Structure 1
């Protein structure tokens, strides 16, 4: 079953733009759902505020996207990366290019730098304070934010292809718990 076509445009800062028409087959729709769930349930698409979270956790979460994406690609096989005419994209093309052009450069650069900084932590200094006092923390946060924006665009395309409700930006309003009856 062929689903509707989706126009995709992912701008990867300083590297490239991946764009084209995606006319997904059923296997790509299923793979899109799996990767969408992965992205929607990780910090990969959640904005990391200045004093929120840990940079190490953000990098580790991005790293796990590699394993999950590889697993999805292997499970669905060549069906998610068919040959397509110029101007068209596939699940495989999008997934591999986002990994190699956006996430990999971030991790290759920052994992060793953050590890070196972590090694300088003095006894008695908690890891959160040590990480937040790092003179390169703001720079890393900015690069994580740039990758997050790419992943959000990918997630939006995956969501459209999967044909599901928005799991990332739709929030259920919290209600105060009902008062207990006396």
Structure 2
């Protein structure tokens, strides 16, 4: 299935080719020179090249520099254009609407629910990156860099450690509540840390997308984690 962006780019190229061909035909008619079809062909090619150049300009123009701070890094400088802002907005919306960044106190909720939500966030982030075009080259980091680091530095290590342990307990003791899991307190502590770090990445997505005051949208998740 062709994406809306690809269809739009194809239509722009085709329209430019037609315009170029029309211009070349008019030039040929005015000059009444031989080899008129060559003029038409050259005009079509030039029109298509112009359209491609405009498309490239649209991807690289209006670059915005954004500086953000995230866990394990000092302040980083990113460059974003309209496409990168749209991807950042998608990542922000998918993240902020999940329980994965909602702080889980010792007497609240279920670890299993939080782990499932984190898995969902991992999969969705990967799908969004797969569907998006790579950012155009620029003098800074990209939204892909931020998203991949969220997956590989925060979500993957936590899930790889705790998901198998919890699943083993659930399989061995299906009759016991999750609170009886010997590692429950330790897991919750590390979960809060992972949630706090994930939250900073989510704020980073918001800033790249141009969202004002993303902390207000996150609400109660802004409480400091117990580490």
- TM bin (shorter chain): 0.7 to 0.9
SS at match of 1:62: helix
Number of equivalent positions = 158
CA contact (8 A) 1:18 1:94 kept: no
SS at match of 2:76: strand
CA RMSD of aligned residues (A): 2.1
- Counting only pairs closer than 5 Å after superposition, residues 1-182 of structure 1 correspond to structure 2 as 1-2=61-62, 4-12=64-72, 17=73, 19-79=75-135, 82-85=136-139, 88-121=140-173, 123=175, 125=176, 130-165=177-212, 166=214, 167-169=217-219
List runs of 5+ in structure 1 lacking aligned partners. 171-182
1:158-178 deviation digits (Å, cap 9, x = unpaired): 1122223532128xxxxxxxx
> Which of structure 1's runs of 4+ aligned residues deviate more than 6 A?
none
Partner of 1:179: none
Deviation of 1:58 (Å):
0.7
List runs of 5+ in structure 2 lacking aligned partners. 1-60, 221-227
Greater CA radius of gyration, 1 or 2?
2
Deviation of 1:83 (Å):
4.3
Q: TM-score scaled to structure 1, two decimals?
A: 0.78
